[in-house]
Structure 1
């Protein structure tokens, strides 16, 4: 059965969505009911050096106001804190807290468990083949922080 290019795109998106939804549900079962996928993207960007709302907005490809709201939520929930900037005493620098890193570790472990479930469904060789082929088609980039902005942008690409 031959499928269209649109079918392929929807299958890939469906796979992404299935994994993310299952991971979010499992995080909730483990006590992290307040974590959403965008929070993980934001914490990873902060851990990689995005230490202000402006920088986080650029990293996620979202407006500064949206980044600031995400930061406020992460601070309120104890996943991120603002600490002194060693290079400029007037600035506060964003940092992921130990709790934030624990949530990210839990998420990674859950994704490993979900991968193992997929492996049991289709077999280790088949899943390894899918992963190799996807890496060949799209590259082996582990994560793009701008995914939240990319998903949310306007149809004309201006947002």
Structure 2
């Protein structure tokens, strides 16, 4: 009988697979003219979404402080990925929205993740990949996309 690997290897392999997928996305983004983006930016773009948000809401969604969210917004604004504008629901607040450049990143990222999934299906077989996804959904129920990962990783 084969001895199972140590328990700590499973989360490390899951993280390595996650990293491989994210690294592929960032290689494609860099090749398409977005070389300065980092994995955390993907969480930020998703948290802003196509409807926009405020710095306070962004910080809460990401699990980081309003100040950390504001600093990241300012950097992404300088790079042309987001813009601040008066909030149509409350003139006292500023809304943060993705620009066309930011929306391009979301679109390109989605297409690359689809290509990564297709490559993995070709490597291990579509049935095994479907089973793996179903098993992971059973082990980690709920929303598959945790926007609060940046705060969790940083301990905020």
TM-score by length of 1: 0.88
Instruction: Name the Cα RMSD after superposition.
Output: 1.7
Q: Is the CA contact 2:50–2:98 (under 8 Å) kept in the aligned structure 1?
A: no
**Structure 1, unaligned stretches of length 5 or more?**
154-158
Aligned pairs, number: 154
> Which contiguous aligned blocks of 4+ residues in structure 1 show a shift greater than 4 angstroms?
none
- Structure 2 stretches lacking a partner, 5+ long: none
Residue 21 of structure 2 corresponds to residue 34 of structure 1: no
Is residue 52–residue 98 contact of structure 2 (8 Å, CA) maintained in 1?
A: no
SS of 2:34's equivalent? coil
The equivalent residue for 1:93 is 95
Alpha-carbon shift at residue 48 of structure 1 (Å): 6.7
Q: Deviations over 1:116-143 (max 9, x none)?
A: 1111111111111111111111125231
Q: Distance in 2 between matches of 1:42 and 1:53?
A: 11
> Does 1:151 pair with 2:144?
no
TM-score, with structure 2 as normaliser: 0.90
Query: Could you tell me how far apart the structure 2 residues matched to 1:71 and 1:40 are?
Result: 13
**Aligned ranges for residues 11-26 of structure 1 at < 5 Å?**
11-26=13-28
